[in-house]
Structure 1
């Protein structure tokens, strides 16, 4: 396999050639058994950057060359001799693999097992909240390693211990230290006066180029209040290209929650996109064209966790299911958000808001426990704001009636978290609700207001 590797600005970095096995010919339970390999969750990355920034810790990036070649095979696997390297004396011989190679289905899992086993022998333990986060906590020394396949982030309180650990890793693996974090998983990390700025400008440009919309007229909002009735011939109505672009846009939402709702709507129509769906995709791409440089800042501030929850009741005209949306801030930095269609039809707007509260509560509990791994002690209950008075009344008061009997489990779940003082549900005016941008189309003025509340902005000059 031949690949061209690019720099963050799109210029050529180097050419790569790699031997890849034809893993699609492997048979389950003969050539492989387990294939799952954990990867870092995006909220974990944002939380690590926020905490390291506030504690003035360095965040270093490591890269492993040919990572999968370090994994040890547990199964007996044979491979044909590679083309161009066939032994003339024994052309029918095959290669027996002792270690994993790119293309094998179990290669990512075996690499993860090999690397984490080495860290465990050096005193690291797994985080129970994110298995790709490994923690070293002895005395006054705290080190954190975050693993995403062969891309590694390391931070901690003791610079000498970090340097010692990197030297050990370089001895055991073909590892390069890339210095302070600058380009991670396609995300450009700019160092600004106030902190970090996460941007996917080059990735957004690549998506627009794939859609032939690099020089199109920008749109002011990502989704129209009312869908247009005219149908365009965008992409010549190619559903395969539609699905490809929809998948690319999902990855773009890592730093762009302002397009999360529009992307969610587009991805719901991937099985059979209509003319209106193509129009919606084109409008979203036109919005991205005008906001390519926008991104998510990570700034210093008090490490208080606060969340906002909202829903749009029965918004889908086809199945009448509601949309849930919530977002969480750690200090001034947005670290987690979600847009999701509810699984069942809500009988009332109260129920829809209540389901959204339950989803936000689950996320808050996970964030609280993850922060505990970073030794962040929350002295007060996490504020969870909602603009539905009836949903808040249902959460605070043990009152059941005919229309809430079927949501009893959610009631007990939220109620217990309120009584244990893990969360504190509060009312917020609908005008000030930032999660509103995650649940419905908005007018230009309101969209820009809420986008600013989510801190999505162009980079500092």
Structure 2
């Protein structure tokens, strides 16, 4: 470290200080603190899962204690109050930490409690983003993108400030943690980071205008049955630039969405069945990961997960033991899903396109259908008012 102001030696100004340990404020300090913290937790009886290296669980006679760690921010919860207080006391003795009480704000996410459950939103984050982009006084719109519209790679003139474009789009990516309604729109604008056009930035501003009208919207979570279900969908050859398909998936625990994704597939699919099957395989892998996580959290699942798909050919392919010539190039995905269906670890069911919750994650929709799927994803306005910085 260079000699700090006020402590520098003029006669040895060319020398630097050798650090015997990391100091707060330096780049390596959070990582060093995190490493020490994670080594201390096993001494308190915590275990971590390979499904999520930042999640720790301690089992006691009266229940469990769950600790979630992100660098130096900690969430502690569980159903054993006495054990939780013991953990907090032990951590306070070992580290210089502050107990902030009930959870209200974590990593830019606001958490509010209602009579029906929890509401997660990022209202303050949206306000800061709108202020940064000077869109706070803009006119709002009903959807984050035009219905069934796709962006072209070379559409118009290049945007003159690509740094601003990348900064705003990067900020929008973090916002999808509590706003699955903008996941597809953000996925579209993320594909033009290298050379954005004016039309692409116009699409970004439409997302911001939509957020302007839905600042206080967030996810609502309430008690319900512990049934794991998922919706899988694909927009076959929807990207006009390379004709790749878009995978959309939404995973629910009961009526509560716990995982979602809108992602362009890595290869071109030769048919809608193939595109849907690739989406089915990706969703199955996500369900496997969530099942492992729930087992670690001691959440019992009384029945296998249900995976809904709106393509009958794809469902038939998952049940058919015959390997057809036309599907041999996707045989890994075929066997991955078929094996779970055969072992009754996964239940496939047909759902109509109108009730396909993942449809909002694969394409732009008209306003009435878009609002319907927002309701399906438990998105609604929150009365939470955040105070402070």
TM-score range, shorter chain: over 0.9
Aligned position for 2:125 = 203
Question: What is the alpha-carbon root mean square deviation over aligned residues?
Answer: 2.0
1:321 to 201, 223, 244: 244
1:94 to 16, 36, 41: 16
**SS of structure 1 residue aligned to 2:230:** strand
Normalised by the size of structure 2, how large is the TM-score?
Answer: 0.93
1:163 aligns with 2:55: no
Once residues 211 and 227 of structure 1 are traced to their aligned partners in structure 2, the CA distance between those partners, rounded to angstroms, is: 24
**CA 1:131–1:115 in 2, change beyond 3 Å: closer, same or farther?**
same
**CA 1:153–1:137 in 2, change beyond 3 Å: closer, same or farther?**
same
Decide which moves more: 431-440 or 205-214.
205-214
* CA apart distance, 1:401: 2.4
**SS of structure 2 residue aligned to 1:180:** coil
1:367 aligns with 2:290: yes
Once residues 345 and 288 of structure 2 are traced to their aligned partners in structure 1, the CA distance between those partners, rounded to angstroms, is: 8
Aligned position for 2:2 = 80
Decide which moves more: 375-384 or 435-444.
375-384
Once residues 175 and 309 of structure 2 are traced to their aligned partners in structure 1, the CA distance between those partners, rounded to angstroms, is: 27
Decide which moves more: 93-102 or 127-136.
93-102
**SS of structure 2 residue aligned to 1:337:** strand
1:443 to 362, 366, 380: 366
- Indicate if the aligned counterparts of 1:232 and 1:279 stay in contact, CA closer than 8 A: no
Normalised by the size of structure 1, how large is the TM-score?
Answer: 0.79
**SS of structure 1 residue aligned to 2:380:** coil
Aligned position for 1:307 = 230
* CA apart distance, 1:91: 4.9
1:351 aligns with 2:274: yes
Residue correspondences, number: 381
**SS of structure 1 residue aligned to 2:365:** coil
**SS of structure 2 residue aligned to 1:369:** helix
Aligned position for 1:181 = 103
Aligned position for 1:257 = 180
**SS of structure 1 residue aligned to 2:42:** helix
Deviations 1:145-189 (A, max 9, x none): 100111100112221111111111111111000001000001110
Deviations 1:281-306 (A, max 9, x none): 11111101111110011111112111
1:149 aligns with 2:56: no
Once residues 111 and 140 of structure 2 are traced to their aligned partners in structure 1, the CA distance between those partners, rounded to angstroms, is: 25
**CA 1:450–1:255 in 2, change beyond 3 Å: closer, same or farther?**
same
* CA apart distance, 1:83: 2.1
Aligned position for 2:324 = 401
Residues 270-309 of structure 1: matches in 2 within 5 Å? 270-309=193-232
**SS of structure 2 residue aligned to 1:384:** strand
Once residues 107 and 320 of structure 1 are traced to their aligned partners in structure 2, the CA distance between those partners, rounded to angstroms, is: 45
Aligned position for 1:119 = 41
- Indicate if the aligned counterparts of 1:308 and 1:328 stay in contact, CA closer than 8 A: yes
**SS of structure 2 residue aligned to 1:324:** strand
- Indicate if the aligned counterparts of 2:117 and 2:221 stay in contact, CA closer than 8 A: yes
Once residues 75 and 357 of structure 2 are traced to their aligned partners in structure 1, the CA distance between those partners, rounded to angstroms, is: 31
1:455 to 374, 378, 382: 378
Once residues 325 and 151 of structure 2 are traced to their aligned partners in structure 1, the CA distance between those partners, rounded to angstroms, is: 41
Deviations 1:327-359 (A, max 9, x none): 011112111001110000000000000000000
1:215 to 99, 121, 137: 137
* CA apart distance, 1:105: 5.1
Decide which moves more: 91-100 or 292-301.
91-100
**CA 1:120–1:268 in 2, change beyond 3 Å: closer, same or farther?**
same
**SS of structure 2 residue aligned to 1:264:** helix
Once residues 332 and 414 of structure 1 are traced to their aligned partners in structure 2, the CA distance between those partners, rounded to angstroms, is: 24
Unaligned runs of 5+ in 1: 1-78
Aligned position for 1:26 = none
* CA apart distance, 1:82: 1.1
**SS of structure 2 residue aligned to 1:311:** strand
- Indicate if the aligned counterparts of 2:121 and 2:178 stay in contact, CA closer than 8 A: yes
Q: Quick one: higher RCO (CA 8 Å, sep 6+), 1 or 2?
A: 2
Unaligned runs of 5+ in 2: 385-389
